[in-house]
Structure 1
């Protein structure tokens, strides 16, 4: 019955911490992330990571990205595809060089250093999405550029990871053309399904004489797209985001959004925020504080500058470029998955795993105040 106590603690303290964060002039999500650290093994130990928390948090991040897709202006996304591509590429080249160089500086071999570069390339905008939503910036030109860049970044990083593991001999028989084919199949599949199947599914299920048929149909689409993405070795959040965009093109957008948000924000999304902090452990970090400080600073700066340069080269002014770069800083669950993959494949030394996890957490914590501050500066100009 411990899971009930965990839910009570998570739901109560995330709301209290979110309110406190807003009173201090910060986005509510920052307080919710910090609560995860306080409640978790690193400080109080009141909530422990486990299958129950993992599964609820996975649903939470899928719903968060589904809602982001619902609220995305597809026309704006189309207009900014060049900027999104430039931001994604800039947000990979510079972080890869920074991660690779920092690992070499601490005496790691070439193979370990190359994998560090991959970890630095990861981006997870689930936190940025929440902050942009709180600031009513999700549908702005900057917001849609960040979302588009994150999708492209995810594809490029997965391809880069597969190539790296193949070259270093740890990925077995990885076929790069097959991997690229899977990505192409995913995008083709969601476009066809979004254009033809989704409207028909919604139209067929909506009139059913059962409770909440419309929102149930939307969730079926969301989780189906997410499963399809995972099956083709894409991140599930990209599938959920695509599902949101598909639903938004139907006449059921407002009804779905109105019903899904209470489901997401009342239970699943708070668990997701807290689960990030539960990964924190300070064991043995005293001997690696210099390494941790270096990789954290480099991780933040390279994404901020790399993504910012991409935005600047495609017509954004300096403040908007920095805002877009800051939206790409969070490594989130994507980097944690890559780090765990590297640990299992022998490309990440166990003694550095805790430092990498802490770097991921710090970049995630740094994103909300960064976005808030730069958004405020942009509005003043």
Structure 2
């Protein structure tokens, strides 16, 4: 059954992606939508099997690993201030508006703050693919977005631990912060000193494709340690990619990892997002889904865009950056699952939040296309003039 499902996903995602491009949209949009059609909500051809979930997890890890490989370190340093402004702006506005919304819905203080944190999360795995298709990943804007996503992830997870400790959860806030600090310090040190040495030594082994295997080892170890210390695995994979990007192996690794990733794992990841959508009974809460979706989209767009503007970007570029931060993705799903388990979210509200997360993910690629294309046209018109 798994083999047949993989075949269906690969055929459908490639065809849907191509159709999306023909319609003037990023291919990732078609891949997301075809997942909904193939999933239990519509045709029921693909079900959420544990193995498919693991394939999907590998897909998003490899996607962020590739983003790290294509990151320009010098540009990353130059955009540090902008990343901080965008990351914090994209947290503060959704957090406050989410809290006010929760209070208006008669939530307790803790529940309202939890909703705000949930809306503050960002997952740029979808945005990374859209940036690649729009040729924006290696630009100043693309680097700012990736840096802001790292900041967003760390701040939101630490804030979540802080909230859970006050809400009666079994959370040692000091230990949480120290674990995350230890991971980032260790990852930077290992990436700087050990990763290049490891690649050189491992590449001397007399077996086939040893360079690619060594790169995957680094990627998966960093991703595992990130997840183990409470940082998202995708952040660990991204840092691993950045570490390898400054070595002489970058070109070979990037080319072959792209082949591995886009042939099977990444299509499964994109399609599985749509497959995981559950719409049964959601019409009873359609109004709430609509309201929360609008709030989720506008607050992140506004907060991140204002942050970009304050750091020196023009409005068109700022809106492009803000749109890339809208997708909540797997990071928000993890937080929502924590809320359900700790009874900060009811089962009905959890179902609503899952659909809202899906909506933010689907609207992100076309929004990015609109804002980035508009910014590019203005830039070209100035050059012509």
Q: TM-score scaled by structure 2? A: 0.97
* Cross-structure match for 1:61: 60
Task: Kindly state the Cα deviation for residue 100 of structure 1 after the two structures are TM-superposed.
Answer: 1.7
Alignment partner for residue 369 of structure 2, among 342, 358, 372? Answer: 372
Task: Kindly state the Cα deviation for residue 110 of structure 1 after the two structures are TM-superposed.
Answer: 2.4
Q: Deviations over 1:116-175 (max 9, x none)?
A: 111101100000000001111101111000000000000000001101111111x21x22
Alignment partner for residue 238 of structure 2, among 238, 241, 253? Answer: 241
Pairwise mapping of residues 1-381 of structure 1 onto structure 2 (< 5 A)?
2-169=1-168, 171-172=169-170, 174-381=171-378
Alpha-carbon distance in 1 for matches of 2:229, 2:376: 41
Unaligned segments of structure 2, at least 5 residues: 379-385
Alpha-carbon distance in 2 for matches of 1:233, 1:112: 22
SS at match of 1:130: helix
SS at match of 2:81: helix
* Cross-structure match for 2:383: none
Cα RMSD, aligned residues only: 0.8
Task: Kindly state the Cα deviation for residue 322 of structure 1 after the two structures are TM-superposed.
Answer: 0.5
Q: Deviations over 1:232-283 (max 9, x none)?
A: 1110000000000011111000000111101000000011001111221111
SS at match of 1:210: coil
Task: Kindly state the Cα deviation for residue 62 of structure 1 after the two structures are TM-superposed.
Answer: 0.3
Task: Kindly state the Cα deviation for residue 106 of structure 1 after the two structures are TM-superposed.
Answer: 2.5
Task: Kindly state the Cα deviation for residue 329 of structure 1 after the two structures are TM-superposed.
Answer: 0.1
Alpha-carbon distance in 1 for matches of 2:7, 2:49: 16
Task: Kindly state the Cα deviation for residue 95 of structure 1 after the two structures are TM-superposed.
Answer: 0.5
Q: TM-score scaled by structure 1? A: 0.98
Following TM superposition, the consecutive aligned residue runs of length 4 or more in structure 1 with deviations greater than 4 angstroms are none
Alpha-carbon distance in 2 for matches of 1:112, 1:38: 33
Q: Deviations over 1:94-126 (max 9, x none)?
A: 101122222222333322222111110110000
Task: Kindly state the Cα deviation for residue 66 of structure 1 after the two structures are TM-superposed.
Answer: 0.2
Task: Kindly state the Cα deviation for residue 205 of structure 1 after the two structures are TM-superposed.
Answer: 1.2
Q: Give the length in aligned residue pairs.
A: 378
